[in-house]
Structure 1
């Protein structure tokens, strides 16, 4: 590419490409740099330096054949050069080299079973059993997946300050305990699996229903979560890995029908089911059936089974709500939570009428559970609206609107409030 012929339009194209690469590749670049440098802060500095260098040089020199490899190489060089100038390289280099040797030895022992994906490798590192269980998933979401502390705090229904403290503790533990950035052996994988699966699913959920911003869906996150789950399944064909992958595929199959062309949320019962991706549904359903046949399944498989019933139903009215209620009852027994109880209440409302669901939700909220959870109040408002109790529905929707952060959800709730006010 001749720089003298590089037009402003071409420069803009390269800038847009770099923006896209940052959204889709930055955390993979970061993961590899963490493995090489064994330091979160150094890796973050290196990643940012690399992208800054790309902005400066690619419009003049052209886009490299392998952008990710260029970013990793450039980032590592930038950090090493900066450390040399600061006089810190002599102190850090032996430690970094020793840790790289540890990684190499561990991977050599694994031979053909090595994980090729550094991002998945780093997820397993952050889910090391030496790290507190309530720190593992938030640390991974923040450092590996790039979610903001606020987004993670929202997913866990706790304060931003509390979540920030957990992430700091996790990084400190990795540093102080010398936890290796190495692939765990096959017999160590099961003890880390629960945290890894939870992490992947939270990444998917943040993409499927973002906690804040202008867009309901972040395809980069849903696609990455599905990619990681496929890697996990190759590594460890556990029934719950199949269940999680199935659950995400079945949810993803409905993506094109969830939002109107003008960005408005469409409830599942009102969606155009011809837009649902039948190939994803077929793959997800097959995985659910395999997991169920194993009789060693858990919460993800049960949720996937529920999603499969929705996916196979021609209409909301023809959905087997009794079967869904039964599955939610089993799920509540093996993985009890107020959110599962809320979902079961909605399914009961679809089977037995809205008042039946409202009664259960009132009990949940009466206990103090989910008081700050927008979807509990919006679900209650929707059921009250269908039950012909507009004044109570209006109050519930107003509470939900106060709690909502995502613009499409705010528009949806404002529309419900407007309809009830005008009627």
Structure 2
């Protein structure tokens, strides 16, 4: 609905205000009048009427002139079904006219509804800085008159990486913050839905297929992340019988199709790593080869730490600690997975006191209560 409302003028901020006003009116009227048969069309119509009143105001016309081809009649149309225009909106947010550091945050907020504070935390910037960045980006969309349409194939190649990063970022934020049991209508479900739509729209883009496969394979294991008592269960200790095999098979089919294009990329390697984790017993040597390939093309801190952990499993804890110590990134001192890996390796190496200190630091950096409880239980086992 936001995409439909913003499309005529490119004014995302005004469309957000109009949509918020429509939801407020629904909350006021529906308890007395009942929910309309076509609730989405009702909300869209109220929001469009709100925008139409805004467009008629002299203040708006002086500060934000409408495009020459704007048809005010379109704003009064009442569709029988609301089309899914989120992908067009995402591609608008990935337009080259938008500052690179604002594209993914803008997509996360406008398309997937991620709170600005959560976005700021994910990008390690102050909330006020992120808020200003988002305001500037929305103004740029409006002033540049970026059309809400699917771009040509050549332009799509330039914008697609940003879209994939936004979908992946939304999934990662939700995976890290959603409480146990809060699955319905969660952000990760929306991110998976958008990834599958992308795969349907662009079936010949291997990285699109890789992202859809990656999210499918991760989401298939969500229920197994906690035991019957709600306690966190790490991947290697999960009950594979609780995994959703139909979703895993869907992910495997998309990964196989992506592999057929012989154009490997980051999301394909990450999907292949998750596929390897879905096989029992896990082939650690194959898993390390995949991680090494991933680090060559996308040396993220998470990928490098995961590779160090595998070095520790295969070559022994001291080798893993050497790999961990060799990471040349100051952010590693604030990276929770690095401290969990260090604590585990130190414990295996018999350095209990150092392991205790590492576990305590990992717990301090863990935002999920159930994961922190798991780490405390592990720490208690050492002391």
TM-score by length of 2: 0.88
Is this contact kept in 2: 1:200–1:228, CA < 8 A? yes
Counterpart in 2 of 1:346? 309
Question: How do residues 287-298 of structure 1 correspond to structure 2 at under 5 angstroms?
Answer: 287-298=254-265
* Alignment partner of 1:405 is 2:372: no
Counterpart in 2 of 1:225? 191
Residues 197/125 of structure 1: CA separation in 2 closer, same or farther (3 Å cut): same
Q: Which moved more, 1:171-180 or 1:58-67?
A: 171-180
Question: Structure 2 residue aligned with 1:55, among 7, 23, 27?
Answer: 27
TM-score by length of 1: 0.80
Counting matched residue pairs gives 374
**Matched residues in 2 for 1:149 and 1:355: separation?**
41
Moved over 6 A (4+): none
How far the C-alpha of 1:87 sits from its partner, in A, is 4.8
- As a proportion of its length, which structure holds more helix? 1
Residues 262/32 of structure 1: CA separation in 2 closer, same or farther (3 Å cut): farther
How far the C-alpha of 1:221 sits from its partner, in A, is 1.4
Q: Secondary structure at the match of 2:32?
A: helix
How far the C-alpha of 1:233 sits from its partner, in A, is 1.8
Is this contact kept in 2: 1:38–1:96, CA < 8 A? no
Give a deviation string over 1:218-259, Cα, whole Å, max 9, x none: 552122112212221222220111111000100011011012
Q: Secondary structure at the match of 1:194?
A: helix
Counterpart in 2 of 1:254? 221
Counterpart in 2 of 1:324? 287
Counterpart in 2 of 1:64? 36
Counterpart in 2 of 1:360? 323
Counterpart in 1 of 2:333? 371
Gaps of 5+ in 1: 1-28, 105-114
Question: Structure 2 residue aligned with 1:391, among 344, 353, 367?
Answer: 353
Counterpart in 2 of 1:45? 17
Question: Structure 2 residue aligned with 1:136, among 87, 103, 116?
Answer: 103
Give a deviation string over 1:346-390, Cα, whole Å, max 9, x none: 2222222333222222222x6423222222212222332333322
* Alignment partner of 1:380 is 2:342: yes
Is this contact kept in 1: 2:288–2:307, CA < 8 A? yes
Is this contact kept in 1: 2:312–2:320, CA < 8 A? yes
Residues 217/270 of structure 1: CA separation in 2 closer, same or farther (3 Å cut): farther
Residues 417/160 of structure 1: CA separation in 2 closer, same or farther (3 Å cut): farther
Give a deviation string over 1:58-95, Cα, whole Å, max 9, x none: 122221222222211112223434665x6546557960
Q: Secondary structure at the match of 2:7?
A: helix
**Matched residues in 2 for 1:367 and 1:239: separation?**
30
How far the C-alpha of 1:124 sits from its partner, in A, is 0.3
Question: How do residues 18-417 of structure 1 correspond to structure 2 at under 5 angstroms?
Answer: 29-36=1-8, 38-81=10-53, 87-88=58-59, 91=62, 95=66, 98-99=69-70, 116-210=83-177, 214-215=179-180, 219=184, 220-237=186-203, 238-313=205-280, 318-364=281-327, 367-417=329-379
Is this contact kept in 1: 2:302–2:337, CA < 8 A? no
**Matched residues in 2 for 1:328 and 1:216: separation?**
31
Is this contact kept in 2: 1:207–1:221, CA < 8 A? yes
Give a deviation string over 1:84-117, Cα, whole Å, max 9, x none: 5x6546557960673569x99xxxxxxxxxx952
Root mean square deviation, CA, Å: 2.7
**Matched residues in 2 for 1:119 and 1:100: separation?**
22
**Matched residues in 2 for 1:51 and 1:289: separation?**
43
Residues 128/367 of structure 1: CA separation in 2 closer, same or farther (3 Å cut): closer
Give a deviation string over 1:238-292, Cα, whole Å, max 9, x none: 0111111000100011011012344321101111110011111111112112211
Counterpart in 2 of 1:16? none
